[in-house]
A and B are shown apart, each in its own frame.
Chain A
Amino acid sequence: MTAEMLEPAVDLQWETVCPLDRLQPERGVAALLPDGVQVAIFRTHDGAVHAVGNVDPFSGAAVLSRGIVGDRAGVPTVASPVYKQVFSLVTGRCLDDADVTIPVFPARVTDGWLQVGLP
């Protein structure tokens, strides 16, 4: 599933972050958005882009962009580099602790540039 399919009807403010080729497949980057919002952006092996909150809820450190990208039963994931909990890149749910979720942001590619949607 790509982020474009999730694009909601409400008006989003699209922030242009970087050229798509700054994203190595299966590696993340962090971006600083207005109001100090930090997002972690990933490009998976199939070419899809995902954006989630960069702050790891378990440690409080803004480091999720530096986690290892992979999959659990086919769901694309990132593992926190601090205490190794795994999060779904699609829903933001922590797959090791059902009570914890990280924010998910819409992401898209326009003219070779990566954009993240903010409400």
Chain B
Amino acid sequence: MVVGGGLLGLEAARALRLLGLSPQVVEIAPRLMPVQVDEGGGALLRRLVESEELAVRCGVSVQEIVEDRGRLLAKLSDGVELDADVVVFSAGIRPADGLARTAGLPVGERGGVLVDDRCRTSDERVWAVGEVAALEGRTYGLVAPGYAMAEVVADRLLGGDARMTPAEIDMSTQLKMLGVDVASFGDAQAVTPGALEVVVNDPVAGTYAKLVVSDDAGTLLGGVLVGDASKYAVLRPLVGAALPADPVAMIAPGGVELGADALPDSAQVCSCNAVTKGAIRAAIADGAHTVPAIKGCTRAGTSCGSCVPMLKNLLVQEGVEVSKALCEHFSQSRAELFEIVAGAGVRTFTELVGRYGRGRGCDICKPAVASILASLGSGHVHDGEQATLQDTNDHFLANLQRNGTYSVVPRIPGGEITPEGLITVGEVARDFGLYTKITGGQRIDMFGARVEQLPAIWRRLVDAGFESGHAYGKALRTVKSCVGTTWCRYGQQDSVGLAIALELRYRGLRAPHKIKSAVSGCARECAEARSKDFGVIATETGWNLYVGGNGGFTPRHAELLASDLDTDTLVRVIDRFLMFYIRTADRLQRTAPWVEAMDGGLDHLRAVIVDDSLGICADLEAAMEAHVAGYADEWRGVLDDPEKLERFVSFVNAPGTPDPTIEFVSERGQPVPVPRSGEPHQPVAIGMPGVRA
């Protein structure tokens, strides 16, 4: 049983449902999510929730919960008695007002330190803002009122006379609940005297929209959207403004399309950070010509993000052309070049730049075209002119380090390696004087190899059965795994076996950026699959697939794309996912920003690659089959070809002479580059055991 039919209560109920339980949701108000939606929206919401096999009881309260032979018995206000194993309470937030209580400041009846309309507590030296502050006895759990309170306090501290009036508090929200979009804004419950309500209710399509307008039908006061909240971004800023069109047409399907031009300059486009359309237009005029630039200088779109489509809209309206040109040599985007190369069958850079670009290319377009050619299966990456397009990593099939040496990473699929394999790696590193380190991707990186050493190192590795790990490429890197059912007491599926199969399937796949993956054997997620471009987590009956995660500069969790897939279906969906990414992403765009930038986001992605809404899935799968069939180890390809081996020399006129500028010192028993001059080399850690003085 879940007590409370708000957002968190419903999500908790769904989680219980997914665990195989049959939860009952008990809500004291007459409808679900009573704060956000009105009666009509609540009715639709209830239907959608019940279709998820969740039982709902509204308008009843819990009188008593007693223990009854090891189970719990909840007595409800309508006389019904519910039998439960688990009771989850999700009936409102409780402010963490302990500090105020200890300090003797008065608190509200339902918690929260009491403040007046200046956000001042009973002690005039103490102010409170945000969720802990009870304004006229009420607390607000949203970010916008918190910011508004902070503004008031800042103004007061500077001697101003700003006030908070509860009536003006912006309680607009947009959220997704059990996959259903819900939004409410302004006077959603139509409490303004004389307010009129305009409703478009389509139970068949599962959408409900209501606008609340002033008694003269001239001003928008608020509204509720359930099932489709796409108009939220444009409707919310119009609150308080003159209606630009007939209110029915504004919410009816196929009605008027409202753009940014419908808004007055005073309208708040970003309500989280109180940024008006006028402020954004000013920022655009001052040179903020991209969404990130606008975010950077106005903070619009940096909290909930629901106004980002509006920011794009404003850019277009202000006449900013967003250039998609790859570089000075191509006016096309990477995705367009991919289509040209694939469609027109162009197979060399010279032909491509001659027919579709200008000049002789650069370090931006050449590797991008090299990657496109490789994704389309064009033989060895060093064949013919392709060799001239590769950046140094792809040109020497190793990772350039700061002193001009390279690091070497053999593939260790799934992170599984035999003792003999470990011994080979250890012996190679020892014999060539390499520094070794375990990577985050469950393999071993050997550092400090000079170009002329690379072929000999790889001869040894290839003879021992290793192949290129593509650590140097914008390509599939690793598929990490936990030990799953092989060893783990909790394992639900063979995560190692799947990880190895996936890594072998997608090895060598070139992409707009690197691709990382992992497979966990159960929901404990020891392989950290949700921090990967595609991550797989075992369930009792199959696999859940998550996409669009990454670590790095902007860490992001992958999101659930499909659940309980059998292995064949899983592989098919990943095939489509990867090929769709390779075809349509920008240069150096990882899967996370790619999904984020997609119109329609994850839902659109799911429609395309799970439901085949564009009818391209067969094509994507065929492309992946061609990749799998055409795979060959790049390092073996070099070792077998004297011409390709020719470039692995330190100097063209002194092939065996090591570069005299490369020097090593020893640190913790291993060779490392000499510290840069002018930069004293010091251990970073302080007060940690084992660090040398």
Q: Which residues of A contact B (CB under 8 A)?
A: 17-18, 22, 24-27, 29-32, 36, 38, 41, 44-45, 55, 59-63, 66-74, 76-77, 79, 81-82, 84, 86
Contact = CB atoms under 8 A, between A and B. Distances in A.
A68 B676 contact: no
Contacts of B677: 60
B231 interface: no
B289 interface: no
CB-based closest 5 A-B pairs? A61-B404, A79-B363, A81-B392, A70-B362, A29-B652
23 contacts: A18-B652, A18-B653, A22-B646, A22-B652, A24-B388, A29-B651, A32-B650, A32-B654, A41-B652, A61-B404, A66-B395, A66-B400, A68-B363, A68-B366, A68-B389, A68-B391, A70-B359, A70-B360, A70-B363, A79-B363, A81-B392, A81-B393, A82-B402
Interface in B615-663: 646-647, 650-654, 657, 659-662
A66 B41 CA distance: 64
Nearest to B404: A61
B359 A74 contact: yes
Contacts of B584: none
Nearest to A33: B653
B653 A26 contact: no
Contact of B652 (A30, A69, A77): A30
Contacts of B657: 32
B258 to A, nearest CB: 44
Given A27-B647, A32-B651, A61-B661, 4 more contacts: A45-B360, A59-B402, A70-B360, A81-B400
B230 interface: no
A68 B367 contact: yes
A21 to B, nearest CB: 11
B328 interface: yes
Contacts of B539: none
A17 B651 CA distance: 10
Contacts of A26: 360, 388
B361 interface: yes
B387 interface: yes
B185 interface: no
Interface string B333-352: 00000000000000000100
Contacts of B661: 38, 55, 60-62
A29 B659 CA distance: 13
B363 A86 contact: yes
A72 B660 contact: no
A71 B652 contact: no
Contacts of B328: 72-73
Contacts of A36: 660
Given A27-B388, A36-B660, A71 B653 contact: no
B534 interface: no
B506 interface: no
Contacts of A69: 360, 388
